[in-house]
Structure 1
Amino acid sequence: MSTETTLDLPETRLFIGGTWTASATAATLPVINPATGEAIAHVSDASVQEGLAALDAACAAQDAWAATPARDRADILARTYQGIIDRRDDFALLIVDEMGKPWSEAQSEVDYGAGFFRWFAESAGRIHTEGQFGIEPGSNYHVAVSKRPVGPSLLITPWNFPLAMGARKIAPALAAGCTTVLKPAAQTPLTSLLLAQVLQEAGVPAGVVNVVVTGNSRDLISAIMNDTRIRKISFTGSTQVGRVLLAQSAQNVMNTSMELGGNAPLIVFDDADLDRAVEGAYLAKLRNGGQSCVAANRIYVQSGIADKFTKRFTERLAHITVGNGHEPSTGLGPLIDDKQRTTVHNLVTDAVAKGATCLTGGQIIDGPGYYYQPTVLTNIPADADIREEEIFGPVAAIYTFDTEEEAITEANATPYGLASYVFTKDLGRALRVAAAIDAGMTGINRGLISNPAAPFGGTKQSGLGREGGIEGLEAYQETKYTGIQL
């Protein structure tokens, strides 16, 4: 039975200072359903001036929000969590239609995104109990250390997880006492706008959360970042854009959190449970159609098990049902747009032209919609672009290795260090390899590692800082030291 129903659109206007308002220029942006290529809505397109108006609202609300008791902030976050859960199907429907996820994955994202509001609701009340108060050694001088909010924060989110990425930033910011300006991706703004409605219904004061969608991201973001009142930027997206934002943030010495690109290795050793390894690799590779910064970009299989693993994994991919996310049988939806599909296809054709073997897939699926066949490549030559670039699509690149040392060397042979995965029954080996891989996260015998209670982030050119866990709250806090002479 199809899950398709009439799409109940949320507000499509800008949310500034607690008020829904259309752009003064009346400009709008289409939201395209990647399964059909057709527009499902048009949202207000914010100008630079409206971006600055959102900053004005956030700054005006900052002092009162910071002074709001942490327990009161926690109650609002808890109500937001429940509001999302109560509208679980509404959020999932929007995610399917504007992003292309299969229905079950969209529901899972709703649960995951809501979890950040629950986690940080539980964490908010502990902010003022984790400080220090003591006497400086050798004197009667008292030292008090406390936490205070960083201040107004600019939050920039990508299109691939429309609810989770906003939740992962807004929830800790509000828990810490920071006001926010959220700029969601123009491809998938509807979920963020519905989230703003739920936050408003949960009692978030005017100006604490502002949402501006724009087709002119560069100018709007630059204008906000050039204003000395903005104290933090949290960005999830490509390393290329992250470098630009880091350079801009240096001008005003802004607090920054950067969750950037990935090139995740997934290592399968000879002694791994084959069933678990195949299923874990499938999840790490195909979740969200491979459009994830933590997707398994390079799958390394030890030579003794390589043929068996590759055969089983290829069969698994070859039998995925590709289609509209509303159909219960769908295991793989469309890519976000034609540009992304072309990028993926170019990586595949380049590898095959240089000598790689395509075991299944490798072709664009005729429209409507931006579908691509689930693909497995082996025997990939050293000069293939796919070895170095983030795939961001349903293409599995499989390599073989002989020794543990070789696997570690290959895993680390990249400027990125976000996620990694290890499959083995040997606990000593698992911990040894996990410690040796230069990445912010490692999953052992599992292909899904994201969790609101755990720190998410990477090393090297995969970013700075962490989201989720206690670290996610600390990212929106400054340490205040007060010296007291009695």
Structure 2
Amino acid sequence: MALRLADGTSWSDTLARAVAATPEAFDHPVNGVTTLHNLVTGRWRAIGEPTPVRTPVDNTVLVNLPRLDAQTARDAVAHAAATHAAWARTPLAERKARVTDALDALTAHRDLLALLLVWEIGKPWRLARADVDRALDGVRWYVGEIDRMLADGREPLPGPVSNIASWNYPMSVLVHAELVQLLAGNAVIAKTPSQGGAVCLTVAHALLHRAGLPATLISGSGEALSEVLVRALEIGAVAFVGGRSNGGKVAAALLDSNKRHFIEQEGLNAWGVWNFSQWDLLAAHLKKGFEYGKQRCTAYPRFVVQRDLVDEFLDMYLPVVRSIRFGHPLAVQEAWHAGDPLPELDFGPLISAAKADELRRKVDEALRGGAVPLHRGKLDGAPFLAGQDTSAYVAPSVLLAPPGRSRLMHAEPFGPVDTIVVVDTTDELLAQMNASNGALVASLACDDTDEAAKLAVDLQAFKVGINKPRSRGDREEPFGGRGASWKGAFVGGDLLVQAVTVGGDDRLYGNFPDWTALPPNI
């Protein structure tokens, strides 16, 4: 049966809603394409070189994203620094009131923000709404806790916080962090990710701006803007979320400065299986692990399995992989009516056709090197519209024993591709789980929790789960990384506020070049 778009979810309808909600942030369409404005020097401005942005859902052009040059970015940073000085003197009660006003406005547009994420980054409807809700609920918790967090006399940083984040969680990572930074008394600057989320972030920042919050939103290439957004003297701290290549460049640029920073980078998060028998429990965790095609920093794409358990593991695992649902996130049956639920998918497209091609090449490279294909999914039968461009979609694949020289052996794929490594000893288990020189999370499936706890001590991951996955966490839960997966101060709960304020004993927990400290009870 032919599929169609759910009523009211087309891009033209979605964009019209965004423009109606925040008209100040959009330019008039030219040749049928709308161009976004940049929020710089305290107002929305039609500046920059327009560059078309395509959706991974079907590869059509969504909007034009205007890229700024370095000098315009410098002017924006200078203005943000001036507003920071005034905002830092604003009483906490007023800061809380304005942040609450922004939260109320964002809540009123929650479904619009979620639908924008569906089109811009291909996130299925349920997961897109969860991204928005997680941001709003998390910041409301900070509003209730901020008086306690600042009670020891902590003050804002000497300059605004510069935020450079990846495209996969625009609301629950980027906007959430900005609102907490604002609550703590800092002006904020955000760089729009080039690959996706620009319209959602534009609408969100328009609502922040209306609430009287000193936020700046600029777009442009990392090459053109990084020097300004990282090294400008006015910047009080740099928050980066992304891959190791770009994160390494940011860290190198900060090497000779004393600037606060928190740089979250990728790591090959691994799940070890040793002396284990609770397969139904593990199956439920692994099914959920495929959400958003594993395009997140806390996904688990590597399974290190005791040789004696490989057959039992595969009996559980392969049916899970075959049950994964993916396709066009808004495609419904002809009989669909308004009010009916939107598709319940585990994931849609990857972020771009280029990323999908890169991932396929990595799989082919591993296969040529001797990896064994245990499962290679197909696009055939997935819910797509007739004639739809599917170049950004990748079906799940599972490879056994990737060769040591393949990229899949040491780096996360950031897509629905899993690798399985078989080991005979606990020393091998730990070595293979630590293959990427540091990770954000790791987990051990082991019936003997005492044995698992002993093994966990030698895992180079910030959080280790025993018979359960770990994630960034919310509210009071800290987050960070070990080894090359993280540089600088840890965040989350009190640690996030401490990272963007000064005062008290001013001790920072983090992964720094000369020492590593962990907060209590990690």
Give the structure-2-normalised TM-score.
0.82
Which shows bigger deviation, 256-265 or 48-57?
A: 48-57
The residue that corresponds to 1:399 in the other structure is: 421
Shift of 1:481: 7.3
The residue that corresponds to 1:197 in the other structure is: 206
Shift of 1:362: 5.9
Amino acid at match of 1:21: R
| Residues 403, 303 of structure 1: alpha-carbon distance in 2 compared, 3 angstrom cutoff | same
Q: SS of 1:335's equivalent? A: coil
Shift of 1:14: 0.6
Please, which runs of 5 or more residues in structure 2 have no aligned partner?
Answer: 20-24, 26-35, 332-342, 381-387, 507-522
Q: SS of 2:301's equivalent? A: strand
Alignment partner of 1:457 is 2:480: yes
Matched-pair contact (CA < 8 Å) for 2:371–2:399: yes
Output the aligned Cα RMSD.
Answer: 2.4
| Residues 356, 176 of structure 1: alpha-carbon distance in 2 compared, 3 angstrom cutoff | same
The residue that corresponds to 1:174 in the other structure is: 182
Shift of 1:374: 0.8
Alignment partner of 1:40 is 2:48: no
Matched-pair contact (CA < 8 Å) for 2:181–2:188: yes
CA distance in 1 between counterparts of 2:411 and 2:51 reads: 30
The residue that corresponds to 2:292 in the other structure is: 288
How do residues 153-168 of structure 1 correspond to structure 2 at under 5 angstroms? 153-168=161-176
Q: SS of 1:242's equivalent? A: helix
Which shows bigger deviation, 357-366 or 432-441?
A: 357-366
CA distance in 2 between counterparts of 1:171 and 1:162 reads: 13
Amino acid at match of 1:348: V
CA distance in 1 between counterparts of 2:470 and 2:54 reads: 28
Matched-pair contact (CA < 8 Å) for 1:262–1:293: yes
| Residues 452, 57 of structure 1: alpha-carbon distance in 2 compared, 3 angstrom cutoff | farther
Shift of 1:106: 1.0
Residue-pair matches, total: 461
Q: SS of 1:126's equivalent? A: helix
| Residues 425, 197 of structure 1: alpha-carbon distance in 2 compared, 3 angstrom cutoff | farther
Shift of 1:371: 0.5
Residues 111-162 of structure 1: CA distance to partner in whole angstroms, max 9, x if unpaired? 222233223222322243235xxxxxxxxxxxxxx44434212110111112
Q: Identity across aligned pairs (percent)?
A: 24
The residue that corresponds to 1:136 in the other structure is: none
Alignment partner of 1:342 is 2:357: yes
Matched-pair contact (CA < 8 Å) for 2:275–2:447: no
Q: Which of 317, 321, 324 is equivalent to 1:320?
A: 324
Shift of 1:249: 1.9
Matched-pair contact (CA < 8 Å) for 2:267–2:436: no
The residue that corresponds to 1:333 in the other structure is: 348
Shift of 1:85: 2.9
Shift of 1:251: 4.1
CA distance in 2 between counterparts of 1:187 and 1:413 reads: 28
Matched-pair contact (CA < 8 Å) for 2:136–2:176: no
How do residues 236-385 of structure 1 correspond to structure 2 at under 5 angstroms? 236-284=241-289, 286-327=290-331, 328-361=343-376, 367-385=389-407
Which shows bigger deviation, 341-350 or 216-225?
A: 216-225
Residues 403-430 of structure 1: CA distance to partner in whole angstroms, max 9, x if unpaired? 4443223222331221112223433233
Shift of 1:232: 1.3
Alignment partner of 1:123 is 2:145: yes
Shift of 1:448: 4.9
| Residues 274, 84 of structure 1: alpha-carbon distance in 2 compared, 3 angstrom cutoff | farther
Amino acid at match of 1:44: P
How do residues 10-29 of structure 1 correspond to structure 2 at under 5 angstroms? 10=19, 11=25, 12-23=36-47, 25=48, 27-29=49-51
Alignment partner of 1:468 is 2:500: no
Matched-pair contact (CA < 8 Å) for 1:341–1:372: yes
Amino acid at match of 2:498: E
Please, which runs of 5 or more residues in structure 1 have no aligned partner?
Answer: 132-145
Amino acid at match of 1:452: D
Alignment partner of 1:72 is 2:78: no
| Residues 321, 414 of structure 1: alpha-carbon distance in 2 compared, 3 angstrom cutoff | closer
Residues 45-65 of structure 1: CA distance to partner in whole angstroms, max 9, x if unpaired? 222232122212211111221
Alignment partner of 1:389 is 2:415: no
| Residues 414, 224 of structure 1: alpha-carbon distance in 2 compared, 3 angstrom cutoff | closer
| Residues 92, 148 of structure 1: alpha-carbon distance in 2 compared, 3 angstrom cutoff | closer
Q: SS of 2:186's equivalent? A: coil
Q: Which of 189, 208, 216 is equivalent to 1:210?
A: 216
Matched-pair contact (CA < 8 Å) for 2:286–2:320: no
CA distance in 2 between counterparts of 1:301 and 1:373 reads: 23
CA distance in 1 between counterparts of 2:66 and 2:242 reads: 22
Matched-pair contact (CA < 8 Å) for 2:292–2:346: no
Q: SS of 1:367's equivalent? A: coil
Amino acid at match of 1:238: G
Q: SS of 2:271's equivalent? A: strand
Q: SS of 1:456's equivalent? A: coil
